[in-house]
Amino acid sequence: MSDIRRLPPNSIIGIFGGGQLGRMTALAAARLGYKCHIYAPEQDIPASQVSAATTRASWDDADALEEFARAVDVVTLEFENVPVAAVRRVAAITSVHPGAGVLEICQDRILEKAFLNRIGIATAPWAEVTGLPSLTAAETRLGRPAVLKSARFGYDGKGQAKLIPGAEAAQVLDAVGADRSILEGFIDFALEVSVMVARGQDGEIAAWPAVENRHVNHILDTTIAPARVSPAVVAEADRIARHIAAEIGLIGVMGVEMFVTRDDRVLVNEMAPRVHNSGHWTIDACTTSQFEQLVRIVCGLPLGSTERHSDAVMKNLVGDEVDAWPGILAEPGACLHLYGKAETRPGRKMGHVTRLTPRKGR
Protein backbone atom coordinates (compact mmCIF):
# COMPACT_ATOMS: atom_id res chain seq x y z
CA MET A 1 0.00 0.00 0.00
CA SER A 2 1.27 3.43 -0.86
CA ASP A 3 0.24 5.17 2.36
CA ILE A 4 2.75 3.32 4.55
CA ARG A 5 5.00 5.84 6.22
CA ARG A 6 8.54 4.45 6.43
CA LEU A 7 10.12 6.07 9.47
CA PRO A 8 13.87 6.60 9.11
CA PRO A 9 16.32 5.73 11.90
CA ASN A 10 16.40 8.39 14.64
CA SER A 11 12.61 8.60 14.58
CA ILE A 12 10.89 8.29 17.94
CA ILE A 13 8.66 5.33 18.80
CA GLY A 14 6.21 5.99 21.61
CA ILE A 15 5.40 2.97 23.78
CA PHE A 16 2.38 2.68 26.06
CA GLY A 17 3.56 0.76 29.13
CA GLY A 18 6.99 0.53 30.72
CA GLY A 19 7.56 -3.06 31.84
CA GLN A 20 10.08 -5.61 30.60
CA LEU A 21 8.22 -5.99 27.29
CA GLY A 22 8.70 -2.27 26.63
CA ARG A 23 12.30 -2.50 27.76
CA MET A 24 13.11 -5.30 25.30
CA THR A 25 11.24 -3.43 22.53
CA ALA A 26 13.33 -0.33 23.24
CA LEU A 27 16.54 -2.39 23.11
CA ALA A 28 15.53 -3.79 19.71
CA ALA A 29 14.61 -0.30 18.52
CA ALA A 30 17.98 1.04 19.60
CA ARG A 31 19.76 -1.59 17.53
CA LEU A 32 17.99 -0.27 14.43
CA GLY A 33 18.79 3.33 15.32
CA TYR A 34 15.39 4.38 16.71
CA LYS A 35 14.65 6.16 19.97
CA CYS A 36 11.83 5.26 22.34
CA HIS A 37 9.59 7.42 24.51
CA ILE A 38 7.74 5.51 27.25
CA TYR A 39 4.31 6.48 28.58
CA ALA A 40 3.46 4.74 31.87
CA PRO A 41 1.88 5.62 35.21
CA GLU A 42 4.07 3.48 37.50
CA GLN A 43 6.91 4.50 39.78
CA ASP A 44 9.45 1.84 38.75
CA ILE A 45 9.60 1.73 34.93
CA PRO A 46 12.15 -0.84 33.66
CA ALA A 47 11.77 0.39 30.06
CA SER A 48 12.76 3.95 30.99
CA GLN A 49 16.28 2.85 31.88
CA VAL A 50 16.97 2.09 28.22
CA SER A 51 14.78 4.74 26.54
CA ALA A 52 15.40 8.32 25.45
CA ALA A 53 12.37 9.80 27.21
CA THR A 54 9.57 8.94 29.63
CA THR A 55 6.22 10.53 30.37
CA ARG A 56 5.09 9.37 33.78
CA ALA A 57 1.37 10.17 33.86
CA SER A 58 -1.98 8.48 34.34
CA TRP A 59 -4.00 6.97 31.50
CA ASP A 60 -6.65 9.69 31.88
CA ASP A 61 -4.31 12.70 31.75
CA ALA A 62 -5.51 14.24 28.46
CA ASP A 63 -2.81 16.92 28.36
CA ALA A 64 0.02 14.43 28.97
CA LEU A 65 -1.38 12.06 26.33
CA GLU A 66 -1.61 14.80 23.71
CA GLU A 67 1.85 16.12 24.48
CA PHE A 68 3.21 12.55 24.22
CA ALA A 69 1.43 12.03 20.87
CA ARG A 70 3.03 15.19 19.47
CA ALA A 71 6.51 14.26 20.75
CA VAL A 72 6.68 10.89 18.93
CA ASP A 73 6.46 9.66 15.32
CA VAL A 74 4.34 6.57 15.97
CA VAL A 75 2.94 4.75 19.02
CA THR A 76 2.78 1.09 19.96
CA LEU A 77 2.07 -0.68 23.23
CA GLU A 78 3.46 -3.35 25.49
CA PHE A 79 0.42 -3.51 27.80
CA GLU A 80 -2.94 -4.54 26.33
CA ASN A 81 -5.07 -2.95 29.03
CA VAL A 82 -4.29 0.63 28.03
CA PRO A 83 -7.72 2.30 28.26
CA VAL A 84 -9.19 2.56 24.78
CA ALA A 85 -10.08 6.22 25.41
CA ALA A 86 -6.36 7.00 25.87
CA VAL A 87 -5.52 5.17 22.65
CA ARG A 88 -8.20 7.08 20.73
CA ARG A 89 -6.98 10.43 22.08
CA VAL A 90 -3.44 9.70 20.90
CA ALA A 91 -4.63 8.16 17.61
CA ALA A 92 -6.27 11.48 16.72
CA ILE A 93 -2.76 12.97 16.57
CA THR A 94 -0.47 10.12 15.44
CA SER A 95 -0.68 6.47 14.33
CA VAL A 96 -1.13 3.83 17.02
CA HIS A 97 -0.37 0.16 16.17
CA PRO A 98 -2.18 -2.04 17.01
CA GLY A 99 -5.30 0.12 16.97
CA ALA A 100 -8.15 0.67 19.42
CA GLY A 101 -10.43 -1.83 17.66
CA VAL A 102 -8.01 -4.70 18.25
CA LEU A 103 -7.55 -3.71 21.89
CA GLU A 104 -11.28 -3.51 22.53
CA ILE A 105 -11.69 -7.16 21.56
CA CYS A 106 -8.62 -8.44 23.37
CA GLN A 107 -9.36 -6.55 26.61
CA ASP A 108 -12.62 -8.39 27.15
CA ARG A 109 -12.74 -12.19 27.35
CA ILE A 110 -16.38 -12.25 26.24
CA LEU A 111 -15.82 -10.10 23.13
CA GLU A 112 -12.65 -12.10 22.46
CA LYS A 113 -14.33 -15.53 22.58
CA ALA A 114 -17.32 -14.25 20.57
CA PHE A 115 -14.94 -12.86 17.93
CA LEU A 116 -12.99 -16.12 17.73
CA ASN A 117 -16.11 -18.27 17.35
CA ARG A 118 -17.53 -15.86 14.75
CA ILE A 119 -14.44 -16.31 12.55
CA GLY A 120 -14.66 -20.08 12.93
CA ILE A 121 -12.02 -20.67 15.62
CA ALA A 122 -12.78 -23.27 18.30
CA THR A 123 -12.50 -22.32 21.99
CA ALA A 124 -13.60 -23.89 25.27
CA PRO A 125 -17.40 -23.79 25.52
CA TRP A 126 -18.32 -20.61 27.40
CA ALA A 127 -21.13 -18.42 28.70
CA GLU A 128 -21.41 -14.85 29.94
CA VAL A 129 -22.07 -14.51 33.69
CA THR A 130 -23.51 -11.37 35.29
CA GLY A 131 -24.71 -12.81 38.60
CA LEU A 132 -25.80 -15.98 40.36
CA PRO A 133 -28.79 -16.77 38.08
CA SER A 134 -26.66 -16.62 34.93
CA LEU A 135 -23.88 -18.61 36.64
CA THR A 136 -26.39 -21.32 37.56
CA ALA A 137 -27.69 -21.40 33.99
CA ALA A 138 -24.14 -21.49 32.62
CA GLU A 139 -23.01 -24.36 34.78
CA THR A 140 -26.11 -26.36 33.92
CA ARG A 141 -24.97 -26.14 30.32
CA LEU A 142 -21.19 -26.47 30.79
CA GLY A 143 -21.00 -28.75 33.83
CA ARG A 144 -18.20 -28.90 36.41
CA PRO A 145 -15.28 -28.48 36.60
CA ALA A 146 -15.38 -25.11 34.92
CA VAL A 147 -13.35 -21.92 35.21
CA LEU A 148 -14.89 -18.56 36.08
CA LYS A 149 -12.83 -15.58 34.88
CA SER A 150 -13.47 -11.85 35.17
CA ALA A 151 -14.22 -10.52 31.69
CA ARG A 152 -11.59 -7.80 32.01
CA PHE A 153 -8.17 -7.12 33.58
CA GLY A 154 -7.09 -10.68 34.37
CA TYR A 155 -3.46 -11.79 34.05
CA ASP A 156 -1.25 -14.53 35.49
CA GLY A 157 -4.39 -16.33 36.72
CA LYS A 158 -5.66 -13.30 38.66
CA GLY A 159 -9.45 -12.82 38.61
CA GLN A 160 -10.07 -16.56 38.06
CA ALA A 161 -11.54 -19.34 40.15
CA LYS A 162 -12.30 -22.97 39.42
CA LEU A 163 -15.83 -24.24 39.91
CA ILE A 164 -15.26 -27.79 41.11
CA PRO A 165 -17.84 -30.39 42.17
CA GLY A 166 -19.06 -29.57 45.69
CA ALA A 167 -18.00 -25.90 45.56
CA GLU A 168 -20.55 -23.21 46.44
CA ALA A 169 -21.29 -21.26 43.23
CA ALA A 170 -21.92 -18.03 45.17
CA GLN A 171 -18.49 -18.26 46.80
CA VAL A 172 -16.77 -18.79 43.46
CA LEU A 173 -18.63 -15.78 42.10
CA ASP A 174 -17.48 -13.75 45.11
CA ALA A 175 -13.89 -14.90 44.71
CA VAL A 176 -13.81 -13.57 41.14
CA GLY A 177 -15.66 -10.46 42.26
CA ALA A 178 -16.52 -9.02 38.83
CA ASP A 179 -19.81 -7.61 37.47
CA ARG A 180 -19.18 -9.38 34.19
CA SER A 181 -17.38 -12.67 33.94
CA ILE A 182 -17.13 -15.68 31.69
CA LEU A 183 -17.63 -19.32 32.65
CA GLU A 184 -15.54 -21.70 30.56
CA GLY A 185 -15.78 -25.45 30.41
CA PHE A 186 -12.59 -26.95 31.82
CA ILE A 187 -10.31 -28.30 29.11
CA ASP A 188 -8.32 -31.37 30.14
CA PHE A 189 -5.52 -30.38 27.78
CA ALA A 190 -2.45 -32.44 26.88
CA LEU A 191 -0.38 -29.28 26.73
CA GLU A 192 -0.49 -25.55 26.14
CA VAL A 193 1.11 -23.97 23.10
CA SER A 194 1.32 -20.47 21.72
CA VAL A 195 2.12 -18.89 18.40
CA MET A 196 3.60 -15.44 18.00
CA VAL A 197 2.26 -13.89 14.82
CA ALA A 198 3.17 -10.59 13.21
CA ARG A 199 1.25 -8.59 10.60
CA GLY A 200 2.66 -5.57 8.82
CA GLN A 201 1.00 -2.36 7.64
CA ASP A 202 0.74 -3.90 4.15
CA GLY A 203 -1.00 -7.02 5.51
CA GLU A 204 2.01 -9.31 5.19
CA ILE A 205 2.00 -12.01 7.89
CA ALA A 206 4.88 -13.87 9.50
CA ALA A 207 4.79 -16.32 12.39
CA TRP A 208 7.28 -18.16 14.55
CA PRO A 209 6.79 -21.90 15.17
CA ALA A 210 4.41 -22.98 17.92
CA VAL A 211 6.06 -23.28 21.31
CA GLU A 212 5.10 -25.24 24.40
CA ASN A 213 4.31 -23.37 27.62
CA ARG A 214 4.38 -24.63 31.20
CA HIS A 215 2.87 -22.57 33.99
CA VAL A 216 3.66 -22.68 37.71
CA ASN A 217 1.22 -20.90 40.06
CA HIS A 218 -0.54 -19.56 36.92
CA ILE A 219 2.64 -17.75 35.85
CA LEU A 220 4.56 -18.82 32.75
CA ASP A 221 7.56 -20.79 33.96
CA THR A 222 9.08 -22.39 30.87
CA THR A 223 8.70 -22.11 27.10
CA ILE A 224 10.05 -24.96 24.96
CA ALA A 225 10.75 -24.00 21.34
CA PRO A 226 9.64 -25.64 19.17
CA ALA A 227 6.65 -27.38 20.80
CA ARG A 228 6.85 -31.18 20.95
CA VAL A 229 3.66 -31.78 18.99
CA SER A 230 2.81 -33.45 15.69
CA PRO A 231 3.39 -31.61 12.38
CA ALA A 232 -0.40 -31.48 11.97
CA VAL A 233 -0.78 -29.60 15.28
CA VAL A 234 2.06 -27.21 14.34
CA ALA A 235 0.33 -26.47 11.03
CA GLU A 236 -3.09 -26.02 12.65
CA ALA A 237 -1.71 -23.66 15.32
CA ASP A 238 0.04 -21.63 12.61
CA ARG A 239 -3.12 -21.49 10.47
CA ILE A 240 -5.21 -20.32 13.43
CA ALA A 241 -2.78 -17.56 14.45
CA ARG A 242 -2.53 -16.22 10.89
CA HIS A 243 -6.30 -16.32 10.45
CA ILE A 244 -6.84 -14.34 13.67
CA ALA A 245 -4.20 -11.74 12.76
CA ALA A 246 -5.78 -11.18 9.35
CA GLU A 247 -9.40 -11.15 10.54
CA ILE A 248 -8.82 -8.79 13.46
CA GLY A 249 -6.77 -6.44 11.25
CA LEU A 250 -3.69 -6.64 13.44
CA ILE A 251 -0.83 -4.26 12.78
CA GLY A 252 1.86 -5.42 15.17
CA VAL A 253 2.72 -8.62 16.98
CA MET A 254 0.27 -10.91 18.79
CA GLY A 255 0.58 -13.90 21.10
CA VAL A 256 -2.12 -16.54 20.61
CA GLU A 257 -2.41 -18.99 23.54
CA MET A 258 -3.92 -22.37 22.72
CA PHE A 259 -4.79 -25.69 24.32
CA VAL A 260 -3.89 -28.92 22.56
CA THR A 261 -6.40 -31.59 23.60
CA ARG A 262 -5.51 -35.22 24.14
CA ASP A 263 -7.00 -36.00 20.72
CA ASP A 264 -4.90 -33.26 19.07
CA ARG A 265 -7.57 -30.62 18.62
CA VAL A 266 -6.34 -27.03 18.94
CA LEU A 267 -8.55 -24.60 20.91
CA VAL A 268 -7.69 -20.95 21.40
CA ASN A 269 -7.53 -19.83 25.03
CA GLU A 270 -6.72 -16.14 24.65
CA MET A 271 -4.80 -13.65 22.57
CA ALA A 272 -2.55 -10.76 23.53
CA PRO A 273 -2.06 -8.04 20.90
CA ARG A 274 1.53 -7.37 21.87
CA VAL A 275 4.87 -9.01 22.30
CA HIS A 276 4.48 -11.89 24.72
CA ASN A 277 6.49 -13.74 27.36
CA SER A 278 6.32 -16.95 25.30
CA GLY A 279 8.15 -15.13 22.48
CA HIS A 280 11.23 -14.13 24.47
CA TRP A 281 13.16 -17.10 23.09
CA THR A 282 13.11 -15.45 19.64
CA ILE A 283 15.68 -12.87 20.80
CA ASP A 284 18.43 -15.45 21.05
CA ALA A 285 17.23 -18.25 18.74
CA CYS A 286 15.81 -16.52 15.64
CA THR A 287 17.02 -14.21 12.89
CA THR A 288 14.39 -11.64 13.87
CA SER A 289 13.02 -11.42 17.41
CA GLN A 290 9.41 -10.59 18.23
CA PHE A 291 10.65 -7.21 19.50
CA GLU A 292 12.54 -6.30 16.33
CA GLN A 293 9.52 -7.42 14.29
CA LEU A 294 7.26 -5.02 16.21
CA VAL A 295 9.74 -2.19 15.60
CA ARG A 296 9.90 -3.02 11.90
CA ILE A 297 6.12 -3.05 11.63
CA VAL A 298 5.40 0.22 13.42
CA CYS A 299 8.19 1.92 11.47
CA GLY A 300 6.85 0.66 8.12
CA LEU A 301 9.88 -1.51 7.34
CA PRO A 302 9.67 -4.95 5.71
CA LEU A 303 9.10 -7.91 8.03
CA GLY A 304 12.20 -9.84 9.09
CA SER A 305 12.77 -13.59 8.76
CA THR A 306 11.30 -15.66 11.59
CA GLU A 307 13.78 -18.46 10.85
CA ARG A 308 15.02 -20.23 13.97
CA HIS A 309 18.71 -21.07 13.99
CA SER A 310 18.61 -22.84 17.39
CA ASP A 311 16.19 -24.73 19.56
CA ALA A 312 15.55 -23.05 22.88
CA VAL A 313 14.18 -23.44 26.37
CA MET A 314 13.22 -20.14 28.01
CA LYS A 315 12.93 -20.13 31.80
CA ASN A 316 11.41 -17.14 33.56
CA LEU A 317 13.26 -15.94 36.65
CA VAL A 318 10.35 -15.20 38.98
CA GLY A 319 10.84 -13.67 42.43
CA ASP A 320 14.04 -14.84 44.11
CA GLU A 321 14.80 -17.33 41.30
CA VAL A 322 16.71 -14.37 39.90
CA ASP A 323 19.34 -14.86 42.62
CA ALA A 324 20.74 -17.68 40.45
CA TRP A 325 22.03 -15.15 37.88
CA PRO A 326 25.78 -15.48 38.62
CA GLY A 327 25.66 -19.25 37.98
CA ILE A 328 23.63 -18.76 34.79
CA LEU A 329 26.28 -16.38 33.48
CA ALA A 330 28.82 -19.20 33.74
CA GLU A 331 26.68 -21.71 31.78
CA PRO A 332 27.58 -22.33 28.14
CA GLY A 333 24.61 -21.75 25.83
CA ALA A 334 22.67 -19.73 28.40
CA CYS A 335 21.54 -16.23 27.42
CA LEU A 336 20.67 -14.16 30.49
CA HIS A 337 18.24 -11.23 30.47
CA LEU A 338 17.67 -9.13 33.59
CA TYR A 339 14.97 -6.47 33.68
CA GLY A 340 16.52 -3.93 36.06
CA LYS A 341 13.57 -3.98 38.48
CA ALA A 342 14.32 -2.15 41.73
CA GLU A 343 12.67 -4.68 44.04
CA THR A 344 12.40 -8.49 43.98
CA ARG A 345 8.91 -9.63 45.01
CA PRO A 346 7.29 -13.10 45.00
CA GLY A 347 5.58 -13.73 41.66
CA ARG A 348 7.36 -10.80 39.97
CA LYS A 349 9.12 -11.49 36.66
CA MET A 350 12.70 -10.32 37.30
CA GLY A 351 14.41 -11.72 34.20
CA HIS A 352 14.66 -14.81 32.04
CA VAL A 353 17.26 -17.17 30.68
CA THR A 354 17.15 -18.77 27.24
CA ARG A 355 19.18 -21.95 26.89
CA LEU A 356 20.12 -22.73 23.29
CA THR A 357 20.83 -26.06 21.63
CA PRO A 358 21.53 -26.77 17.95
CA ARG A 359 18.37 -26.81 15.84
CA LYS A 360 16.83 -30.22 15.28
CA GLY A 361 14.07 -31.03 12.85
CA ARG A 362 11.65 -28.85 10.97
Pick one of 6, 31, 70, 218: the residue that binds ligand ADP (CB under 6 A): 218
Q: Which residues contact 86 (CB under 8 A, 6 or more apart)?
A: 16, 59, 60, 65
Q: Measured from the CB of residue 83, what is the shortest distance to ligand ADP in angstroms?
A: 18
Q: Measured from the CB of residue 157, what is the shortest distance to ligand ADP in angstroms?
A: 5
Cα dihedral 284, 290, 293, 298, rounded to 10, equals -140
The strand pairing partners of 352, in sequence order, are: 316, 337
Could you please report the per-residue DSSP string of 55-68?
A: EE--TT-HHHHHHH
Q: Return residues touching Mg ion (CB under 5 A).
A: 257
Pick one of 61, 128, 156, 202: the residue that binds ligand ADP (CB under 6 A): 156
Binding mask 303-342 for ligand ADP (x = CB under 6 A): ----------------------------------------
Pick one of 27, 124, 182, 248: the residue that binds ligand ADP (CB under 6 A): 124
Footprint (CB under 6 A) of ligand ADP, residues 157-216 = 157, 184, 186-187, 192, 215
Q: Any contact of residue 128 with ligand ADP (CB under 6 A)?
A: no
Alpha helices in the chain (DSSP H): 20-31, 62-71, 84-91, 100-106, 109-118, 132-142, 169-176, 231-248, 282-285, 290-298, 325-329
Angstrom distance (rounded) from CA 102 to CA 248: 6
Angstrom distance (rounded) from CA 18 to CA 16: 7
Contact of residue 186 among Mg ion, ligand ADP, none (CB under 5-8 Å per partner type): ligand ADP
* Structural contact between residues 163 and 146, judged by C-beta atoms closer than 8 angstroms: yes
Of 3 and 188, the one with the shorter C-beta distance to ligand ADP is: 188
Q: Measured from the CB of residue 50, what is the shortest distance to Mg ion in angstroms?
A: 26
Residues contributing to the site for ligand ADP (CB under 6 A): 124, 147, 154-157, 184, 186-187, 192, 215, 218, 257, 269-270
